[in-house]
Structure 1
Protein backbone atom coordinates (compact mmCIF):
# COMPACT_ATOMS: atom_id res chain seq x y z
CA UNK A 1 0.00 0.00 0.00
CA UNK A 2 1.40 3.39 -1.05
CA UNK A 3 0.23 6.33 1.06
CA UNK A 4 0.06 9.74 -0.62
CA UNK A 5 2.54 12.10 1.00
CA UNK A 6 0.68 15.40 1.15
CA UNK A 7 2.29 17.98 3.48
CA UNK A 8 -0.22 17.56 6.30
CA UNK A 9 0.86 19.12 9.60
CA UNK A 10 2.94 17.03 11.98
CA UNK A 11 1.49 17.48 15.46
CA UNK A 12 2.41 16.81 19.09
CA UNK A 13 -0.35 14.18 19.06
CA UNK A 14 1.68 12.38 16.38
CA UNK A 15 4.69 12.49 18.68
CA UNK A 16 2.63 11.12 21.57
CA UNK A 17 1.44 8.26 19.35
CA UNK A 18 4.93 7.38 18.11
CA UNK A 19 6.31 7.39 21.64
CA UNK A 20 3.47 5.29 23.05
CA UNK A 21 3.77 2.67 20.32
CA UNK A 22 7.55 2.50 20.68
CA UNK A 23 7.49 2.21 24.47
CA UNK A 24 4.77 -0.44 24.36
CA UNK A 25 6.89 -2.45 21.91
CA UNK A 26 10.15 -2.06 23.84
CA UNK A 27 8.44 -3.00 27.09
CA UNK A 28 8.24 -6.55 25.73
CA UNK A 29 11.98 -6.92 26.40
CA UNK A 30 12.70 -6.63 30.12
CA UNK A 31 15.82 -8.82 30.23
CA UNK A 32 18.74 -6.62 31.28
CA UNK A 33 21.30 -8.63 29.30
CA UNK A 34 19.35 -8.14 26.06
CA UNK A 35 19.84 -4.39 26.30
CA UNK A 36 23.60 -4.91 26.09
CA UNK A 37 23.33 -6.29 22.54
CA UNK A 38 24.06 -4.01 19.62
CA UNK A 39 21.07 -2.09 18.33
CA UNK A 40 20.56 -3.27 14.75
CA UNK A 41 23.33 -2.03 12.47
CA UNK A 42 24.56 0.55 14.98
CA UNK A 43 27.81 0.26 16.92
CA UNK A 44 25.94 1.22 20.10
CA UNK A 45 24.23 -1.16 22.49
CA UNK A 46 20.48 -1.05 22.88
CA UNK A 47 20.92 0.74 26.20
CA UNK A 48 23.19 3.36 24.63
CA UNK A 49 20.81 3.81 21.71
CA UNK A 50 17.84 4.33 24.02
CA UNK A 51 19.86 6.88 26.02
CA UNK A 52 20.76 8.65 22.77
CA UNK A 53 17.09 8.73 21.77
CA UNK A 54 16.07 10.18 25.14
CA UNK A 55 18.84 12.74 24.84
CA UNK A 56 17.67 13.76 21.36
CA UNK A 57 14.11 14.29 22.58
CA UNK A 58 15.39 16.34 25.51
CA UNK A 59 17.67 18.40 23.25
CA UNK A 60 14.91 19.20 20.76
CA UNK A 61 12.66 20.36 23.60
CA UNK A 62 15.51 22.44 25.03
CA UNK A 63 16.18 24.18 21.71
CA UNK A 64 12.67 25.65 21.86
CA UNK A 65 13.04 26.74 25.49
CA UNK A 66 15.01 30.02 25.53
CA UNK A 67 13.05 33.25 25.21
CA UNK A 68 15.12 34.04 22.11
CA UNK A 69 16.49 30.78 20.68
CA UNK A 70 19.89 31.10 19.02
CA UNK A 71 19.65 30.49 15.25
CA UNK A 72 23.29 29.45 14.91
CA UNK A 73 24.09 27.15 17.84
CA UNK A 74 22.63 24.61 20.23
CA UNK A 75 21.79 25.39 23.84
CA UNK A 76 25.23 24.86 25.44
CA UNK A 77 24.63 21.87 27.69
CA UNK A 78 27.62 19.77 28.67
CA UNK A 79 27.86 16.62 26.52
CA UNK A 80 29.82 13.56 27.61
CA UNK A 81 30.60 10.08 26.27
CA UNK A 82 30.56 7.20 28.73
CA UNK A 83 32.97 5.24 26.54
CA UNK A 84 34.98 5.94 23.38
CA UNK A 85 32.69 5.49 20.40
CA UNK A 86 29.53 5.76 22.47
CA UNK A 87 26.93 8.50 22.05
CA UNK A 88 27.62 11.95 23.50
CA UNK A 89 24.70 12.81 25.79
CA UNK A 90 23.69 15.55 28.18
CA UNK A 91 21.39 13.22 30.12
CA UNK A 92 21.34 9.50 30.88
CA UNK A 93 19.34 6.78 32.58
CA UNK A 94 20.20 5.13 35.90
CA UNK A 95 21.25 1.60 35.06
CA UNK A 96 20.04 0.41 38.47
CA UNK A 97 16.50 1.16 37.30
CA UNK A 98 16.83 -1.37 34.47
CA UNK A 99 14.91 -1.37 31.18
CA UNK A 100 11.70 -0.22 32.89
CA UNK A 101 13.53 2.84 34.17
CA UNK A 102 14.96 3.52 30.74
CA UNK A 103 11.47 3.51 29.25
CA UNK A 104 10.36 6.01 31.89
CA UNK A 105 13.20 8.27 30.80
CA UNK A 106 12.03 7.95 27.20
CA UNK A 107 8.46 8.75 28.15
CA UNK A 108 9.55 11.77 30.20
CA UNK A 109 11.79 13.28 27.53
CA UNK A 110 9.19 12.67 24.83
CA UNK A 111 6.57 14.38 26.99
CA UNK A 112 8.90 17.37 27.38
CA UNK A 113 9.20 17.74 23.61
CA UNK A 114 5.45 17.35 23.07
CA UNK A 115 4.74 19.97 25.75
CA UNK A 116 7.24 22.43 24.28
CA UNK A 117 5.82 21.90 20.79
CA UNK A 118 2.32 22.62 22.08
CA UNK A 119 3.21 25.82 23.94
CA UNK A 120 5.80 27.37 21.60
CA UNK A 121 4.44 29.88 19.05
CA UNK A 122 4.71 28.56 15.47
CA UNK A 123 6.78 31.55 14.36
CA UNK A 124 9.66 30.60 16.71
CA UNK A 125 12.82 29.38 14.97
CA UNK A 126 15.73 27.54 16.59
CA UNK A 127 19.00 25.99 15.46
CA UNK A 128 19.47 22.49 14.20
CA UNK A 129 22.46 21.27 12.20
CA UNK A 130 20.05 20.08 9.48
CA UNK A 131 18.39 23.50 9.15
CA UNK A 132 16.90 26.20 11.38
CA UNK A 133 13.48 24.87 12.27
CA UNK A 134 10.12 25.59 13.90
CA UNK A 135 8.14 23.72 16.59
CA UNK A 136 6.53 21.47 13.97
CA UNK A 137 9.95 20.66 12.54
CA UNK A 138 11.36 19.68 15.92
CA UNK A 139 8.26 17.57 16.50
CA UNK A 140 8.84 15.77 13.19
CA UNK A 141 12.52 15.29 14.06
CA UNK A 142 11.54 13.73 17.37
CA UNK A 143 9.15 11.37 15.63
CA UNK A 144 11.80 10.27 13.13
CA UNK A 145 14.24 9.66 15.98
CA UNK A 146 11.63 7.54 17.78
CA UNK A 147 10.61 5.54 14.71
CA UNK A 148 14.07 4.72 13.38
CA UNK A 149 15.72 4.11 16.75
CA UNK A 150 12.80 1.90 17.77
CA UNK A 151 13.66 -0.01 14.60
CA UNK A 152 17.32 -0.28 15.69
CA UNK A 153 16.30 -1.35 19.18
CA UNK A 154 13.74 -3.85 17.95
CA UNK A 155 16.34 -5.50 15.73
CA UNK A 156 18.71 -5.77 18.68
CA UNK A 157 16.06 -6.99 21.10
CA UNK A 158 14.34 -9.38 18.68
CA UNK A 159 11.03 -7.52 18.55
CA UNK A 160 8.61 -6.68 15.74
CA UNK A 161 8.21 -2.99 14.89
CA UNK A 162 6.03 -1.60 12.11
CA UNK A 163 4.78 1.96 12.74
CA UNK A 164 1.69 3.45 11.06
CA UNK A 165 2.12 4.29 7.38
CA UNK A 166 0.28 7.62 7.62
CA UNK A 167 2.56 8.79 10.44
CA UNK A 168 5.65 7.87 8.40
CA UNK A 169 4.16 9.65 5.37
CA UNK A 170 3.68 12.91 7.29
CA UNK A 171 7.24 13.06 8.58
CA UNK A 172 8.58 12.15 5.14
CA UNK A 173 6.64 15.04 3.61
CA UNK A 174 7.94 17.43 6.30
CA UNK A 175 11.60 16.40 6.52
CA UNK A 176 12.33 14.33 3.40
CA UNK A 177 10.15 15.92 0.69
CA UNK A 178 12.42 14.60 -2.08
CA UNK A 179 12.12 10.99 -0.95
CA UNK A 180 10.53 8.43 -3.31
CA UNK A 181 6.74 8.60 -3.46
CA UNK A 182 6.13 5.30 -5.27
CA UNK A 183 7.09 3.13 -2.29
CA UNK A 184 5.49 2.41 1.07
CA UNK A 185 6.21 5.10 3.67
CA UNK A 186 7.85 2.97 6.38
CA UNK A 187 10.45 1.27 4.13
CA UNK A 188 10.99 4.67 2.52
CA UNK A 189 11.73 6.27 5.89
CA UNK A 190 14.20 3.49 6.65
CA UNK A 191 15.83 4.07 3.25
CA UNK A 192 15.90 7.84 3.81
CA UNK A 193 17.78 7.34 7.09
CA UNK A 194 20.33 4.91 5.70
CA UNK A 195 18.85 1.74 7.20
CA UNK A 196 17.47 -0.20 4.23
CA UNK A 197 17.42 -0.61 0.48
CA UNK A 198 14.46 0.09 -1.79
CA UNK A 199 13.80 -1.62 -5.12
CA UNK A 200 16.27 -0.12 -7.57
CA UNK A 201 17.74 2.13 -4.87
CA UNK A 202 20.77 0.98 -2.86
CA UNK A 203 21.13 1.71 0.82
CA UNK A 204 22.31 5.27 1.48
CA UNK A 205 25.75 5.74 3.01
CA UNK A 206 25.07 9.39 3.87
CA UNK A 207 21.80 11.19 4.53
CA UNK A 208 20.19 14.19 6.22
CA UNK A 209 16.74 15.66 6.59
CA UNK A 210 15.73 19.26 5.92
CA UNK A 211 14.26 20.87 9.02
CA UNK A 212 13.59 24.27 7.42
CA UNK A 213 9.83 25.00 7.21
CA UNK A 214 8.49 24.09 3.79
CA UNK A 215 7.30 27.64 3.02
CA UNK A 216 10.79 29.05 3.73
CA UNK A 217 12.88 26.81 1.46
Structure 2
Protein backbone atom coordinates (compact mmCIF):
# COMPACT_ATOMS: atom_id res chain seq x y z
CA UNK A 1 0.00 0.00 0.00
CA UNK A 2 1.11 3.57 -0.69
CA UNK A 3 1.69 5.68 2.41
CA UNK A 4 -0.53 8.68 2.89
CA UNK A 5 1.25 12.03 3.31
CA UNK A 6 1.88 13.76 6.62
CA UNK A 7 -0.87 16.41 6.84
CA UNK A 8 -0.14 19.89 8.18
CA UNK A 9 -3.00 22.38 8.59
CA UNK A 10 -1.78 25.98 8.37
CA UNK A 11 -3.93 28.99 9.22
CA UNK A 12 -3.73 32.57 10.45
CA UNK A 13 -6.60 33.62 12.72
CA UNK A 14 -7.77 36.55 14.76
CA UNK A 15 -7.87 36.27 18.55
CA UNK A 16 -11.58 35.44 18.25
CA UNK A 17 -11.00 32.69 15.67
CA UNK A 18 -11.77 34.34 12.33
CA UNK A 19 -9.70 33.84 9.17
CA UNK A 20 -11.11 36.92 7.41
CA UNK A 21 -13.73 39.61 7.83
CA UNK A 22 -16.88 39.95 5.74
CA UNK A 23 -15.62 42.79 3.52
CA UNK A 24 -14.76 42.29 -0.18
CA UNK A 25 -11.05 42.84 0.55
CA UNK A 26 -9.00 40.06 2.11
CA UNK A 27 -8.03 40.74 5.74
CA UNK A 28 -4.27 40.31 6.19
CA UNK A 29 -3.80 38.67 9.57
CA UNK A 30 -0.11 37.73 9.38
CA UNK A 31 2.79 40.16 9.45
CA UNK A 32 5.74 40.16 7.03
CA UNK A 33 7.82 37.81 9.17
CA UNK A 34 5.00 35.30 9.47
CA UNK A 35 4.30 35.40 5.72
CA UNK A 36 7.99 34.56 5.25
CA UNK A 37 7.64 31.65 7.69
CA UNK A 38 4.70 30.31 5.67
CA UNK A 39 6.77 30.62 2.50
CA UNK A 40 9.50 28.53 4.11
CA UNK A 41 6.99 25.86 5.14
CA UNK A 42 5.59 25.81 1.60
CA UNK A 43 9.09 25.35 0.23
CA UNK A 44 9.52 22.26 2.42
CA UNK A 45 6.29 20.56 1.34
CA UNK A 46 5.46 18.31 -1.60
CA UNK A 47 1.93 19.67 -2.12
CA UNK A 48 -0.29 22.54 -0.96
CA UNK A 49 -4.08 22.11 -0.74
CA UNK A 50 -6.88 24.65 -0.49
CA UNK A 51 -10.61 24.31 -1.00
CA UNK A 52 -12.34 25.62 -4.12
CA UNK A 53 -14.22 28.25 -2.08
CA UNK A 54 -10.86 29.74 -1.06
CA UNK A 55 -9.65 29.57 -4.67
CA UNK A 56 -12.71 31.57 -5.76
CA UNK A 57 -12.85 34.00 -2.83
CA UNK A 58 -9.17 34.87 -2.36
CA UNK A 59 -7.88 34.20 -5.90
CA UNK A 60 -4.43 33.20 -4.55
CA UNK A 61 -1.36 32.28 -6.59
CA UNK A 62 -0.36 29.83 -3.83
CA UNK A 63 3.33 29.63 -4.71
CA UNK A 64 6.76 29.72 -3.07
CA UNK A 65 7.67 33.39 -3.42
CA UNK A 66 11.36 33.17 -2.55
CA UNK A 67 13.58 32.53 -5.59
CA UNK A 68 16.29 31.23 -3.25
CA UNK A 69 13.92 28.65 -1.80
CA UNK A 70 12.78 27.58 -5.27
CA UNK A 71 16.43 27.17 -6.29
CA UNK A 72 17.02 25.06 -3.19
CA UNK A 73 14.16 22.78 -4.17
CA UNK A 74 15.55 22.36 -7.69
CA UNK A 75 19.02 21.60 -6.29
CA UNK A 76 17.42 18.78 -4.30
CA UNK A 77 15.90 17.33 -7.47
CA UNK A 78 12.39 18.65 -6.72
CA UNK A 79 10.11 20.81 -8.87
CA UNK A 80 10.58 24.53 -8.21
CA UNK A 81 7.03 24.66 -6.83
CA UNK A 82 5.05 22.14 -4.78
CA UNK A 83 2.08 20.44 -6.42
CA UNK A 84 -1.05 22.61 -6.02
CA UNK A 85 -4.26 20.83 -5.03
CA UNK A 86 -7.87 21.88 -4.70
CA UNK A 87 -11.08 20.07 -3.80
CA UNK A 88 -14.52 20.94 -5.16
CA UNK A 89 -17.89 19.34 -4.58
CA UNK A 90 -19.73 21.41 -7.19
CA UNK A 91 -17.10 21.58 -9.92
CA UNK A 92 -17.67 25.35 -10.21
CA UNK A 93 -14.20 26.59 -11.16
CA UNK A 94 -13.01 29.53 -13.27
CA UNK A 95 -10.02 28.90 -15.56
CA UNK A 96 -9.04 32.59 -15.34
CA UNK A 97 -8.15 32.49 -11.64
CA UNK A 98 -4.53 32.91 -10.50
CA UNK A 99 -4.40 29.41 -9.05
CA UNK A 100 -4.15 27.82 -12.50
CA UNK A 101 -1.59 30.18 -14.03
CA UNK A 102 1.18 30.34 -11.44
CA UNK A 103 3.48 27.70 -10.00
CA UNK A 104 3.81 24.16 -11.24
CA UNK A 105 1.50 21.17 -11.61
CA UNK A 106 -2.09 21.20 -10.34
CA UNK A 107 -4.62 18.53 -9.46
CA UNK A 108 -8.35 18.81 -8.71
CA UNK A 109 -10.36 16.26 -6.71
CA UNK A 110 -14.12 16.12 -7.04
CA UNK A 111 -17.08 13.72 -7.01
CA UNK A 112 -17.16 11.58 -10.13
CA UNK A 113 -20.23 13.40 -11.43
CA UNK A 114 -18.32 16.71 -11.70
CA UNK A 115 -15.15 15.38 -13.35
CA UNK A 116 -16.20 15.91 -16.98
CA UNK A 117 -17.46 19.42 -16.23
CA UNK A 118 -14.14 20.38 -14.62
CA UNK A 119 -12.07 18.87 -17.43
CA UNK A 120 -14.04 20.89 -19.96
CA UNK A 121 -13.60 24.09 -17.91
CA UNK A 122 -9.90 23.73 -17.22
CA UNK A 123 -8.98 22.03 -20.50
CA UNK A 124 -5.48 20.82 -19.65
CA UNK A 125 -4.67 23.25 -16.83
CA UNK A 126 -4.91 20.53 -14.18
CA UNK A 127 -5.24 16.81 -13.65
CA UNK A 128 -8.78 16.00 -12.50
CA UNK A 129 -9.50 12.99 -10.29
CA UNK A 130 -12.87 11.62 -9.22
CA UNK A 131 -13.22 10.43 -5.63
CA UNK A 132 -16.48 8.49 -5.97
CA UNK A 133 -20.04 9.69 -5.33
CA UNK A 134 -18.82 12.44 -2.95
CA UNK A 135 -15.59 14.15 -1.96
CA UNK A 136 -13.56 11.53 -0.10
CA UNK A 137 -10.47 12.82 1.72
CA UNK A 138 -9.18 9.28 2.16
CA UNK A 139 -9.15 8.84 -1.62
CA UNK A 140 -7.45 12.25 -1.95
CA UNK A 141 -4.66 11.27 0.47
CA UNK A 142 -4.22 7.86 -1.12
CA UNK A 143 -3.90 9.38 -4.57
CA UNK A 144 -1.46 12.05 -3.38
CA UNK A 145 0.62 9.34 -1.73
CA UNK A 146 0.70 7.43 -5.01
CA UNK A 147 1.99 10.62 -6.66
CA UNK A 148 4.93 10.69 -4.26
CA UNK A 149 3.54 13.35 -1.93
CA UNK A 150 4.97 12.74 1.53
CA UNK A 151 4.18 16.09 3.13
CA UNK A 152 0.91 17.93 2.46
CA UNK A 153 0.26 21.50 3.61
CA UNK A 154 -3.44 22.40 3.89
CA UNK A 155 -4.14 26.14 3.86
CA UNK A 156 -7.92 26.18 4.16
CA UNK A 157 -10.54 27.30 4.26
CA UNK A 158 -12.65 26.51 7.28
CA UNK A 159 -14.69 23.73 5.69
CA UNK A 160 -11.56 21.91 4.54
CA UNK A 161 -9.81 22.30 7.91
CA UNK A 162 -12.94 21.05 9.68
CA UNK A 163 -13.17 17.99 7.43
CA UNK A 164 -9.55 17.00 8.02
CA UNK A 165 -9.90 17.37 11.79
CA UNK A 166 -13.29 15.70 12.20
CA UNK A 167 -12.01 12.73 10.18
CA UNK A 168 -8.81 12.50 12.23
CA UNK A 169 -6.60 13.07 9.19
CA UNK A 170 -4.46 16.00 10.39
CA UNK A 171 -1.03 15.29 11.89
CA UNK A 172 -0.09 18.85 12.80
CA UNK A 173 -1.64 22.33 13.04
CA UNK A 174 0.19 25.64 12.62
CA UNK A 175 -2.06 28.35 14.07
CA UNK A 176 -0.77 31.91 13.73
CA UNK A 177 -2.80 34.15 16.06
CA UNK A 178 -2.94 37.82 15.10
CA UNK A 179 -3.70 40.58 17.66
CA UNK A 180 -6.95 41.41 15.91
CA UNK A 181 -10.61 41.05 16.89
CA UNK A 182 -13.13 40.62 14.05
CA UNK A 183 -16.40 39.91 15.85
CA UNK A 184 -18.50 39.51 12.68
CA UNK A 185 -20.83 36.48 12.63
CA UNK A 186 -20.87 36.62 8.82
CA UNK A 187 -17.09 36.27 8.55
CA UNK A 188 -15.42 32.87 7.96
CA UNK A 189 -13.82 31.04 10.86
CA UNK A 190 -10.89 28.64 11.19
CA UNK A 191 -13.27 25.77 12.01
CA UNK A 192 -16.96 25.09 11.56
CA UNK A 193 -19.19 22.98 13.78
CA UNK A 194 -18.25 19.33 13.77
CA UNK A 195 -17.83 16.09 15.67
CA UNK A 196 -14.13 16.06 16.53
CA UNK A 197 -12.36 12.92 17.80
CA UNK A 198 -12.49 12.86 21.59
CA UNK A 199 -14.83 15.83 21.80
CA UNK A 200 -14.35 18.73 24.18
CA UNK A 201 -12.77 16.51 26.85
CA UNK A 202 -9.68 15.84 24.73
CA UNK A 203 -6.67 18.18 24.93
CA UNK A 204 -4.18 18.19 22.06
CA UNK A 205 -0.45 18.26 22.64
CA UNK A 206 1.26 21.61 22.12
CA UNK A 207 4.58 21.18 20.29
CA UNK A 208 5.67 24.83 20.17
CA UNK A 209 4.64 28.37 21.09
CA UNK A 210 6.65 31.15 19.45
CA UNK A 211 6.17 34.90 19.00
CA UNK A 212 6.76 36.22 15.48
CA UNK A 213 6.58 39.97 15.90
CA UNK A 214 3.02 40.69 17.03
CA UNK A 215 1.81 37.26 15.88
CA UNK A 216 1.98 34.13 18.04
CA UNK A 217 2.57 30.77 16.36
CA UNK A 218 1.20 27.69 18.11
CA UNK A 219 1.96 24.20 16.80
CA UNK A 220 -0.51 21.50 17.85
CA UNK A 221 -0.27 17.74 17.31
CA UNK A 222 -3.94 16.69 17.02
CA UNK A 223 -3.22 12.96 17.00
CA UNK A 224 -1.53 13.21 20.40
CA UNK A 225 -3.13 14.29 23.66
CA UNK A 226 -1.47 15.67 26.80
CA UNK A 227 -1.24 12.18 28.28
CA UNK A 228 0.55 10.87 25.18
CA UNK A 229 -2.10 8.26 24.50
Instruction: Give the structure with the larger strand fraction.
Output: 2
Q: Which has the larger radius of gyration?
A: 2
Instruction: Give the structure with the larger helix fraction.
Output: 1
What interval of TM-score do these two structures reach, taking the shorter chain for normalisation?
under 0.3
TM-score calculated relative to the size of structure 2: 0.27
